[in-house]
């Protein structure tokens, strides 16, 4: 079995290459152009799974890749070193996009040791249910492997209990697993080679959908990293481009500092679904009311808007207005989906309100309001509902709701 894995690695040797990112560190990851869903996150630009190889007296592999990309990773490793020469593996995160091929990798490399955090060891054993010889490294521990010097920074709940960063002092590289990453399939492995506007959106999307519920933990981590006093020359996440100069590192860390605060902006997000266009019409007029106040507004019909894009828009907004018709005494299933998702993400500092149409009962408004309150959204002004088709009075109320919310945000919610 080991030989067949090795064969795969060698066979692919000429097809994929390692990319040097510092004196001793090489990117040996994989690019996934096809993925469009990662546990509910719509990865509309694909992603990368970044693994890293450190050369030296005792070569070290940092993380692996998602299982189907094992051959690609092995080929990149094989382009510069025989995989069996790797002495150690450090597993910074147990989630399967980084540990999915850990077992076959161990089988080929036969490393002297595989390192993980205490929780990482538990998580890896719970995934693989095999006898694994894993060595624990502890928060703040400085350790030397051959001529490579490291410090471990455990980052529990960023975003799994096992998560940790590893700082490679020789080259000033902080391997940050999911931290400071984004889902972006790119052949430009360095951040500076990529379009800033795309990186900003994808970083924001990543933060909103993965880190938003852990914002207070992220804030503490950012302070903790400062306290370690690392000389970070390269910030190497497990997804997306690598931050390899001071201005890019400051840029992404500055954005994270901004996002943990979730200070409300003047932007209003309106989400809705509709049956016979009544709730859609109400959404349009609420948006028009916001617009007349010269306030930014994003209208997100659920027929064409994914929950993870809605979460992204909310990260830099100040209000969420949610609309649904009543169907079988409930809210529309699409609306329930996104509100359930937002209950988990817990966006902070938002105001909001509900609107929608109904035929005979009209329970949707009350359900929407309750859901918004559970998310943590402060209800403002009055809901608007209409029986069947909105008349001019109803549409005037919609316009007023939009204007009132916009004015409230301008004056500070
Ligand atoms: Fe990219 Fe939490 O795994």
CATH classification of the domain holding 278: 3.40.50.360
Looking at the fold, whether 289 and 224 belong to one and the same domain comes out as no
Ligand 1 pocket residue status of 63, Cβ below 6 Å = no
Q: Work out the percent of the chain whose per-residue pLDDT is above 90.
A: 95
User: Do 363 and 321 sit in the same domain of this protein?
Assistant: yes
Residue 239 and residue 224 share a domain: yes
Domain boundary among 261, 284, 309: 261
* 138: pLDDT strictly greater than 60: yes
Distance CA 26, CA 374 (A): 46
Residues 133 and 194 reside in one and the same domain:
yes
> 149: domain CATH number?
3.60.15.10
CA distances from 150 to 26, 153, 166, 369, 399 (A): 16, 10, 7, 50, 59
Render pLDDT for 93-128 as a digit per residue (tens, 0 to 9). Answer: 999 999 999 999 999 999 999 999 999 999 999 999
Smallest CA separation from ligand 1 atom 2, residue: 95
Q: Is the CB of 183 under 6 A from ligand 1?
A: no
Q: Half-sphere exposure (CA, 13 Å, Cβ side) for 284? A: 7
Residues marked as catalytic: 39, 93, 95, 97, 159, 178, 206, 239
32 C-beta closer than 6 A to ligand 1: no
Task: Provide the sign of the torsion angle of the four alpha carbons 352, 356, 360, 363, taken in this order.
Answer: negative
Q: What is the pLDDT of residue 77?
A: 98
Q: What's the first-to-final CA gap in the chain, in angstroms?
A: 62
How many Å lie between the centroid of ligand 1 and the Cα of residue 211? Answer: 11
In a shared domain, residues 154 and 255: yes
Within 10 angstroms of residue 84's Cβ, the number of other Cβ atoms is 12
CA 238 to ligand 1: nearest atom: 1
Q: Are residues 53 and 199 in the same domain?
A: yes
Give residue-wise pLDDT tens across range 324-346: 999 999 999 999 999 999 999 99
232, 261, 290: which is the final residue of a domain? 261
- Ligand 1 centre from 98 Cα, in Å? 7
Ligand 1 within 6 A of 248 CB? no
Q: Would the pLDDT of 3 be above 60? A: no
Distance (Å) from CA 342 to ligand 1 centroid: 20
For ligand 1, what atom is nearest to the CA of residue 160?
2
**CA gap 143, 149 in Å, rounded:** 6
Integer Cα distance of 231 and 226 in angstroms: 10
Ligand 1 pocket residue status of 93, Cβ below 6 Å: yes
Q: Residue 70: pLDDT above 60?
A: yes
pLDDT at 413 over 90: no
Burial class (CB in 10 A: 0-12, 13-18, 19+), 124: buried
Q: State in Å: Cα 354 to ligand 1 middle.
A: 34
For the chain, give the mean pLDDT. Answer: 95
CA distance 33 to 152: 32
Lowest average pLDDT, out of 6-10, 288-292, 396-400, goes to: 6-10
* Nearest atom within ligand 1 for CA of residue 96: 3
Q: Are residues 185 and 240 in the same domain?
A: yes
Pocket flag, ligand 1, residue 162 (CB < 6 Å): no
Ligand 1 atom at shortest distance from the alpha carbon of 177: 1
Nearest to 204 by CA among 237, 180, 235: 180
The residue whose CA has the least distance to atom 3 of ligand 1 is 95
pLDDT at 2 over 80: no
Question: Cα(178) to centroid of ligand 1, in Å?
Answer: 5
Does residue 11 have a pLDDT over 50?
A: no
Q: Are residues 324 and 308 in the same domain?
A: yes
Q: Is the CB of 97 under 6 A from ligand 1?
A: yes
Q: Over 70: is that where the pLDDT of 13 sits?
A: no
160 and 292 together in one domain: no
* Average pLDDT of the segment spanning 290-295: 98
- Looking at the fold, whether 178 and 312 belong to one and the same domain comes out as no
Does the beta carbon of 98 lie inside 6 Å of ligand 1? yes
The boundaries of the domain holding residue 309 are 268-411
| Share of residues in the chain with pLDDT > 70 (%) | 96
Total number of domains constituting the chain:
2
Are residues 251 and 276 located together in one domain of the fold?
A: no
Interacting residues of 247 by C-beta distance below 8 A, sequence separation 6+:
none
170-213: pLDDT as tens digits: 999 999 999 999 999 999 999 999 999 999 999 999 999 999 99
- Residue 282 CA to ligand 1 centre (angstroms): 39
CA dihedral (237, 260, 35, 245) positive or negative: negative
User: Which of 261, 276, 299 is the endpoint of a domain?
Assistant: 261
Ligand 1 pocket, 66 CB below 6 A?
Answer: no
- Residue 177 and residue 323 share a domain: no
């Amino acid at each position: 079995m080991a030989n067949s894995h090795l064969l795969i690695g060698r066979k692919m040797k000429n097809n994929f290459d390692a990319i040097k990112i510092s004196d001793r560190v090489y990117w040996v990851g994989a690019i996934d152009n096809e993925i469009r869903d990662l546990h509910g996150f719509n990865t509309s630009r694909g992603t990368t799974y970044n693994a890293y190889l450190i050369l030296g007296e005792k070569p070290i592999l940092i993380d692996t890749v998602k299982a189907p990309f094992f051959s690609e990773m092995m080929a990149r490793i094989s382009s510069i070193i025989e995989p069996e020469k790797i002495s150690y593996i450090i597993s910074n995160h147990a989630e399967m996009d980084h540990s999915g091929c850990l077992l076959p990798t161990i089988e080929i490399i036969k490393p002297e040791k595989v390192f993980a955090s205490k929780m990482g060891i538990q998580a890896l054993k719970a995934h693989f249910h095999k006898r694994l010889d894993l060595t624990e490294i502890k928060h703040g521990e400085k350790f030397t492997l051959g001529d490579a010097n490291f410090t471990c920074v455990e980052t529990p709940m960023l975003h799994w209990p096992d998560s940790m960063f590893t700082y490679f002092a020789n080259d000033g590289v902080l391997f940050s697993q999911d931290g400071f990453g984004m889902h972006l399939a790119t052949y430009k492995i360095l951040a500076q080679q990529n379009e800033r506007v795309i990186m900003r959106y994808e970083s924001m999307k990543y933060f909103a959908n993965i880190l938003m519920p852990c914002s207070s933990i992220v804030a503490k981590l950012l302070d903790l990293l400062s306290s370690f006093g690392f000389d970070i020359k390269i910030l190497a996440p497990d997804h997306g481009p690598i931050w390899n100069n001071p201005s890019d590192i400051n840029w992404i860390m500055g954005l994270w500092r901004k996002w943990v605060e979730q200070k409300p902006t003047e932007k209003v997000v309106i989400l809705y679904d509709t049956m016979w266009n009544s709730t859609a019409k109400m959404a349009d007029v609420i948006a028009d009311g916001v617009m007349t106040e010269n306030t930014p507004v994003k209208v997100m019909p659920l027929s064409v808007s994914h929950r993870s894009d809605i979460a992204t828009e909310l990260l830099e907004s100040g209000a969420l207005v949610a609309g649904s018709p009543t169907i079988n005494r409930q809210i529309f299933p699409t609306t329930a989906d996104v509100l359930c998702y937002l209950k988990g993400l817990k966006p902070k500092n938002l105001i909001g309100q509900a609107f929608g149409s109904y035929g005979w009962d009209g329970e949707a408004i009350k359900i929407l309001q309750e859901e918004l309150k559970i998310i943590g959204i402060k209800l403002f002004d009055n809901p608007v509902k209409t029986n069947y088709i909105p008349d001019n009075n109803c549409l005037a109320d919609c316009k007023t709701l939009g204007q009132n919310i916009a004015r409230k945000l301008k004056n500070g919610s």
